[in-house]
Structure 1
Amino acid sequence: MIELAGDVDAIRIEFEPSSLTTLKIVLGAILFGIALDTRPADFVAAARRPGTIALGVLAQFLLLPAITFVLTLVLDVRASVALGMLLVACCPPGNVSNVLTHRARGDVALSVSMTGVGNVLAIVLMPLNLAFWGGLHPTGHTVLREIELGAADMLAEVGFVIGLPFAAGLTIARLQPGLARVGARVLGPVSFLALAGVIVVGVADNWGVFLDYIGVVLLAVFLHDAVALGTGFGVAKLTRLPQASTKAMTFEVGIRNSGLGLLLVFSFFDGLGGMALVAAWWGIWDIIAGLTVAQLWSLRWKRGTETKVEPA
């Protein structure tokens, strides 16, 4: 069992109601921005690549949660940490995966298509996934029973945070494509920075608790993030996807919208210690790891390009 500074299952992370409202707005803006950057053609492209899209959906919503479930048992983490890991694994991808795919010189069209499809499916699959895997967990199921989590309640919350802004963004993208393109370029980075700001403020407000307990989740998040990225990469390699598509699959499976997970922790789990710490630290570490992988791929691409240039 991972050594604990105390009982992380017994603590609650404080989060001001105003900050929770801000988090909902920011997440809505992120999903709105994703939809603005999504065209009907992206779904048409997805329909033309049903095998690859289906592979990504299975990897995100079936394989990753299942592997995460096994990882929580192997690490023998506390119940709240296990639920936090499962919650993050059940989250949909965010627009960061599109940015990283572009930076890595990957298949951006596939990435955008998978993000759009993944977020639509997550409205239903995310709450059901968490209820299923959390209910199977030997210690996590007790916490779920104590909280009396209803999948229908979470479905309504996820639908509100994802479904409404996504539908609004798709509508604008359809009716005003020029405005949508400009809006997506501005809203994407602004909402991402805003989410980072909300997480930083939340950590600062609970700095003492963060310092006392961060060691509990450091190894778990590090390994979990590596497993998530490795799952996407491994699935792509096993199915012999092209290199550009492999990069997209890696980030679509490996990059999770942990901000949404954080919102659900405070909305349904009363800021449960391990869950909040996992979601908050994942939001930071996932970006660091993703940028590192993307940069390595980008450098390899540049070196490969340079070797193909004939001397004058």
Structure 2
Amino acid sequence: MNPTLTVLATDVDNIRIAFEEGSLTTLKIVIGAILFGIALDTRLSDFAAAVRRPVVIAIGVVAQFLLLPALTFVLTLLLDVRGSVALGMILVACCPPGNVSNILTHRAGGDVALSVSMTAIGNVLAIFLMPINMAFWGSLHPTGDALLRDIDLSALDMLTEISFVIGVPFVAGITIARLWPRVAAVGHRIIGPLSFLALGGVILIGVTNNWGIFVDYIGIVLLAVFLHDALALLLGYGIARATRLPLPSTQAMTFEVGIRNAGLGLLLVFTYFDGLGGMALVAAWWGIWDIIAGLAVAQWWRARSTRRTSELEAA
């Protein structure tokens, strides 16, 4: 490793990303809006549909909440990243999927109904499993454990925060979707895109306000995020193929496992980890790169499907 990068890698555990109280409040509102938008597009029938496909849903739950955090932990050891970077990777792996996965599944021509059902189930389970996963895998990491002890992270406190950020908007959105479906349909089309644009704006402002730190340290997390994102997408694809799911379900599984709500992770970094450098950089860059990589995969699948259709028509 370059001597300069070695020094920076050592220092990344000691830096803090500045994030004003007002910006943190805005971030909470934006993440709540994202989850509210997901819930507006969720029906109680989606949960009923999940019950009718228990094996597929169970495969997705195992991949998201057991295999991905475990493989992420192994990846942090193989890459020998600093404690804060390792904790950032683990935190992102513990995050639930967002409705970007639904959009990408639709773009790829996959099973959107399965994607929506898995997103709904994943976000509900994340309320309870995310704090447990984070505390468990973080405490096992040789360098991340010391940082967790310094921060004195409480899984119960994180559970309370996640319940508020995910649970309240989710319940409100599902209730509106149940009572006023037309209002929910219009609201989803507006709130979904606007909330993601707002999240991009919050991240952009945060990067701008910490531009010096971003330029100096981003190189440390580029490779880690690239490999981690590829691992998540490949895990979703691999477990779907291993269990012989049809192609549309494979596409949905790929994005449900591979696409994480890094915005929620970023919120938790500033709420509980005081803007810890490596964690904030991982969550911020993941939120950008994950969408780029997901769009590339979805477009590849779409182009492949179009080409096959053209060949069949020609035949």
TM-score with structure 1 setting the length: 0.98
Match of 2:159 in 1: 155
Aligned-residue offset at 1:4: 3.4
Q: Is 1:38 paired with 2:42?
A: yes
CA pair 283-5 structure 1, distance change in 2 beyond 3 A: farther
Could you say which residue in structure 1 is the equivalent of 2:302? 298
What's the counterpart of residue 174 of structure 1? 178
For residue 33 of structure 2, what is the aligned residue in structure 1? 29
Q: Which amino acid aligns with 2:6?
A: L
Structure 1 spans left out of the alignment, 5+ residues: none
> 1-side partners of 2:245 and 2:79: how far apart?
32
Q: Which residue of 2 aligns with 1:215?
A: 219
Quote the residue 2:232 is aligned against.
Answer: 228
Which residue of 95, 106, 115 maps to 2:110?
Answer: 106
CA distance in structure 2 between the aligned counterparts of 1:5 and 1:31, rounded to whole angstroms: 39
C-alpha distance in 2, partners of 1:4/1:32?
A: 42
Aligned identity (percent) is 73
CA distance in 2, matches of 1:233, 1:207: 36
SS of the aligned residue for 2:6 comes to: coil
Q: Which amino acid aligns with 1:157?
A: E
2:74 is aligned with 1:49? no
Q: Deviations over 1:230-264 (max 9, x none)?
A: 00000001001000000000000000000000000
* AA matched with 1:73: L
Looking at structure 2, the residues matched to 190 and 251 of structure 1 have their Cα atoms a distance apart, in angstroms, of: 21
Q: How many residue pairs were aligned?
A: 311
Q: CA deviation at 1:304?
A: 1.0
Counterpart amino acid of residue 150 in structure 2: E
1:16-41 deviation line (CA, Å, top 9, x unaligned): 11111110001000000000000111
Equivalent position of 1:197 in the other structure? 201
Amino acid corresponding to residue 101 of structure 1 in structure 2: T
Pick from 251, 255, 269 the counterpart of residue 251 of structure 1: 255
Q: Deviations over 1:108-165 (max 9, x none)?
A: 0000000000000000000110000001111111110010000000000000000000
d(CA) in 1 for partners of 2:48, 2:103? 21
SS class of match (1:9): coil
Structure 2 unaligned spans of 5+: none
Q: Is the 8 A contact 1:5 1:212 kept in 2?
A: no
Counterpart Cα distance in 2 of 1:48 and 1:185: 28
Once residues 4 and 256 of structure 1 are traced to their aligned partners in structure 2, the CA distance between those partners, rounded to angstroms, is: 29
Counterparts of 1:248 and 1:177, CA distance in 2? 25
Code of the residue aligned with 1:193 in structure 2: it is L
Q: CA deviation at 1:5?
A: 4.8
Pairwise CA distance, 1:309: 1.4
Once residues 25 and 188 of structure 1 are traced to their aligned partners in structure 2, the CA distance between those partners, rounded to angstroms, is 13
Runs of 4+ in 1 over 3 A off after TM superposition: 1-5
Question: What residue number does 1:288 align with?
Answer: 292
Q: Which letter maps to 1:249?
A: M
Shift, 1:310, TM fit: 4.6
Tell me which residue corresponds to 2:6: 4
Contact 1:229 1:255 (C-alpha < 8 Å) held by counterparts: yes
Structure 1 counterpart of 2:180, one-letter code: Q
Give the 3-state SS of the residue equivalent to 1:34 in structure 2: helix
